[in-house]
Each structure stands twice: as structure tokens, then as C-alpha cells.
Amino acid sequence: MPECSVITKSWSELSLAELYALLKLRTDVFFLEQRIAEEELDNRDQECTTQHYWLQDLSGVAAYLRVLEDAAPTYGDAHRIVGRVVVRADRRGEGLAQLLFARVLEEFGGEALMLHAQEYIAPLYAKFGFHAYGEVYVEAGIRHISMYRAGAE
């Protein structure tokens, strides 16, 4: 895997070109490839506490995720939610999502985290200490499972 530096920015730090590139990757994968016909732009991207993480290559954004913060815990004591994890088709299998998760854990590993995983990718998240809870459910026509990671003590 080529060396990559994770970029992280809040909404107010994003340039228009960066925002366009992030949204393009998300819509290319979620709408065109996975055919998800549900709202992608949920207004959470622009919250001042949301952090955007991505990896860039010569072709553009190769991988992305965001971390949201909720005032009330979403599950257990998890105030932060990892979501919109996406890797461009030509870069899958290179460990890019793992690089993003490693960076998130550098920043927020001391806190409880949760996410909603597409079921087939849950083993990746388990490598980072996430454990499934609840029943498998279908969201946007895709099987999902909720996952939780306790904060470091």
C-alpha cells in the first residue's frame, strides 16, 4: 500500500473543491454503485463538531469517513458516531479504511464510539475493537448491524 497521509478537517475548514470531491465519492459509491435511494446529505456534515477524514491520490479522494458528535449518547456512553465510510472502487482492498480508522482512534480512542455497519464489513470494524449489538436490520436495502467500541480506560 502506498504511503498516504490522512487529511482531517471540520466543515468550516473545507474548501469548495474538497467538499465537492468528498461528496462525489460518497454519491458515486452510495448512489451509483450501491443504488441507495435514501438521503445522503443529512445536514450532519456541516455541524461544527463533525470531523471529515479522507485520503487523497492523483485521481482524487480515495477513501473517506466522518465522525459525528451527539450531545446525548447514541448507545451506552457513545457520543461519537463513525459513518459514511467509503473507499473508491479502484482502491479497495489496500487497507485505506484501516488507515482512516487508525487516525480516528488516535483522536477519539479514549472515548466510546459507535457505528452502523453494512453487515459484510463488520469484521473490519471488529479489528478496531467494535462489537456488534442488537439485531441485523435492513437500511436502504442493505443488511446492517450496529457496533459499539468502549473508550480506553
The tens digit of pLDDT for each residue in 120-149 reads: 999 999 999 999 999 999 887 889 999 999
> Is residue 14 over pLDDT 50?
yes
| Position 1 in a domain | no
HSE, side-chain direction, 13 A CA sphere, residue 122:
17
Average pLDDT estimate for 91-114: 94
> Is residue 36 over pLDDT 90?
no
CATH number at residue 73: 3.40.630.30
Looking at the structure of the chain, the number of domains it has is 1
| Position 117 in a domain | yes
Helix (H, G, I), strand (E, B) or coil at 46: coil
Check: CB of residue 114 under 8 Å from CB of residue 147. Answer: yes
> Is residue 69 over pLDDT 60?
yes
User: Which residue range forms the structural domain that includes residue 81?
Assistant: 7-149
Q: Quote the pLDDT of residue 90.
A: 94
Pull the grid cell for residue 73.
449518547
Question: Greater confidence, 148 or 73?
Answer: 148
Check: CB of residue 103 under 8 Å from CB of residue 64. Answer: no
| Position 2 in a domain | no
Check: CB of residue 57 under 8 Å from CB of residue 70. Answer: no
